[in-house]
């Protein structure tokens, strides 16, 4: 940033004490600027260090992504390219906003210390500085232009839905999800383990809390105690490395289907069919939650996505079709395919 000063009256010199670069900057100011640059460097290094530490922590939960981790910081381990891109943009913006915040804070502190009534009893009387005004207009514009390419390209990547390998329709209900595997025409409901629907009638009064019956149901389904409120009785099962398109809608009120580790979140609005897509990079169990306040049991309709190998998926698919598909359903699929 190079700002030329036009005003040459003695009083106007003080303006350049703010640490801005100018033709009349004194050597003392240059030293100060270098100190500010050093502080900026230290802080951005610390921020990057924090990011790396957070990622390393998140890696401990590689198989189960999306549940709370002790001392967890930062994002969940990215399970898709969309999520890694989102995290990159977030870190990029974090560095920019940190630099801006520090810069403005330093300017404020300098003004407070140097130009209070006691330290500077005779204030300057000029009101304009064209170069400075052009600078503080152009520099924010340049920053905004620098932010546009990564953020807009990511937005388009999320919103332009590619051809699907597997299409799943997710319908939000008060308060559970229904998943329809559109290509194979079967559907099932997915309840949080601990919901009365997942317990025997005798244990119904133990629902929604970490009671012995709920803990036993979690264990039986292969989940740990700390996955309570995230684990469901029927997970969405998908193969690794395939493009999955999820059509999201609501049956009663607005819900939202979100898996943070996949970088996806989409409102399910009754009467509308929205779409999101992702391609999971690695196998694992990924947890998400309904992310639109949808009523009293909003917190009890989590999302569990199981990413498995293609072979395991084929085995599961066969079982799921025989378990969930209606007797007349295969015919309906054939008719639809013929068209
Ligand atoms: Cu909800």
| CATH assignment of the domain containing 42 | 1.10.287.90
What does the pLDDT average to over 108-136? 95
3 lies in some domain: no
280 lies in some domain: yes
The alpha carbon torsion through 84, 86, 88, 89 (nearest 10 deg) reads 170
Strand-pairing partners, residue 308, are 239
2 lies in some domain: no
Among residues 159, 174, 204, the one where a domain terminates is 159
333 lies in some domain: yes
302 and 170, same structural domain?
yes
CA dist 264 and 236 (Å) reads 15
133 and 21, same structural domain?
yes
Among residues 144, 159, 174, the one where a domain terminates is 159
262 and 176, same structural domain?
yes
CA dist 21 and 139 (Å) reads 13
202 lies in some domain: no
Strand-pairing partners, residue 22, are 3
Q: Give how far Cα 200 sits from Cα of 30, 190, 193, 217, Å.
A: 74, 16, 12, 10
- pLDDT at residue 16 above 50? no
268 and 147, same structural domain?
no
Among residues 137, 159, 181, the one where a domain terminates is 159
pLDDT at 63: 78
% of the chain surpassing 90 pLDDT: 75
State pLDDT tens for residues 166-185: 999 999 999 999 999 999 99
Give the distance (Å) from ligand 1 centre to CA of residue 97. Answer: 32
240 and 114, same structural domain?
no
Give the distance (Å) from ligand 1 centre to CA of residue 191. Answer: 13
pTM above 0.85, yes or no: no
Contact between 193 and 233 under an 8 Å Cβ cutoff? The reply is yes
| CATH assignment of the domain containing 282 | 2.60.40.420
In the chain, what are the helix, strand and coil shares in percent, each to the nearest 5?
45, 20, 30
State pLDDT tens for residues 205-247: 999 999 999 999 999 999 999 999 999 999 999 999 999 999 9
84 and 33, same structural domain?
yes
- pLDDT at residue 38 above 90? no
- pLDDT at residue 140 above 60? yes
179 and 154, same structural domain?
no
The SS3 assignment for 245 reads strand
How many C-beta neighbours within 10 Å does residue 195 have? 22
Element (H, E) at 100: helix 81-114
331 lies in some domain: yes
208 lies in some domain: no
What does the pLDDT average to over 84-91? 96
Packing angle of the helix pair 130-159, 81-114 (nearest 10 deg): 160
Mean pLDDT of the chain: 83
How many C-beta neighbours within 10 Å does residue 294 have? 21
181 and 152, same structural domain?
no
183 and 329, same structural domain?
yes
Instruction: Please tell me the total count of domains within the chain.
Output: 2
170 and 142, same structural domain?
no
- pLDDT at residue 332 above 90? no
- pLDDT at residue 331 above 80? no
pLDDT at 325: 82
217 lies in some domain: no
Residue pointed to by tokens 């306040």: 293
Give the distance (Å) from ligand 1 centre to CA of residue 294. Answer: 4
Which tops the pLDDT comparison, 24 or 261?
261
CA dist 332 and 185 (Å) reads 8
40 and 138, same structural domain?
yes
CA 89 and chain centroid, separation: 10
Give the distance (Å) from ligand 1 centre to CA of residue 258. Answer: 10
Give the distance (Å) from ligand 1 centre to CA of residue 62. Answer: 26
Q: Give how far Cα 144 sits from Cα of 2, 139, 190, 279, Å.
A: 19, 9, 43, 30
Which tops the pLDDT comparison, 28 or 250?
250
334 and 258, same structural domain?
yes
CA dist 203 and 194 (Å) reads 10
Which residues form the domain of 28?
Answer: 10-159
Give the distance (Å) from ligand 1 centre to CA of residue 292. Answer: 5
Give the distance (Å) from ligand 1 centre to CA of residue 296. Answer: 9
217 Rama class: left (phi>0) / alpha (psi -120 to 50) / beta: alpha
């Amino acid at each position: 940033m190079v700002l030329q000063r036009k005003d040459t009256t003695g009083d106007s010199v003080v303006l350049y004490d703010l640490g801005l670069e100018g033709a009349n900057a004194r050597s003392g100011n240059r030293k100060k600027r270098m100190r500010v640059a050093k502080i900026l460097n230290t802080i951005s290094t610390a921020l990057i260090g924090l990011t790396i530490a957070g990622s390393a922590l998140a890696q401990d939960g590689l198989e189960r992504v999306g549940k709370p981790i002790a001392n967890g910081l930062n994002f969940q381990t990215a399970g898709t390219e969309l999520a890694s891109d989102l995290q990159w943009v977030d870190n990029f913006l974090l560095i920019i906003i940190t630099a801006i915040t520090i810069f403005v804070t330093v300017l404020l502190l300098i003004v407070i210390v140097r130009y209070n009534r006691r330290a500077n009893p005779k204030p300057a009387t000029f009101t304009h500085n064209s170069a400075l005004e052009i600078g503080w207009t152009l520099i924010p514009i340049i920053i905004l232009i620098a932010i546009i390419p990564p953020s807009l390209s990511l937005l388009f990547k999320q919103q332009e839905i590619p051809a699907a390998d597997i299409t799943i329709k997710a319908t939000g209900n008060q308060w559970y999800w229904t998943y329809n595997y559109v290509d194979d025409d079967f559907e099932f409901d997915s309840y949080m383990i601990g919901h009365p629907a997942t317990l025997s009638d005798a244990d119904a009064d133990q629902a929604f809390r970490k009671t012995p019956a709920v803990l036993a149901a979690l264990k039986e389904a292969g989940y740990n105690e700390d996955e309570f409120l995230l684990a469901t009785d029927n997970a969405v099962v998908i193969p690794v490395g395939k493009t999955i398109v999820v059509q999201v809608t609501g049956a009663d009120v607005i819900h939202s289907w979100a898996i943070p580790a996949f970088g996806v979140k989409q409102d399910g609005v009754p009467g509308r069919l929205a779409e999101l897509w992702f391609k999971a990079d690695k196998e694992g169990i990924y947890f998400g939650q309904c992310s639109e306040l949808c009523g009293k049991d909003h917190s009890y309709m989590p999302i569990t996505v199981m990413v498995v190998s293609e072979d395991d998926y084929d085995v599961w698919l066969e079982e799921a079709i025989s378990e969930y598909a209606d007797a007349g359903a295969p015919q309906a699929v054939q008719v639809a395919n013929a068209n």
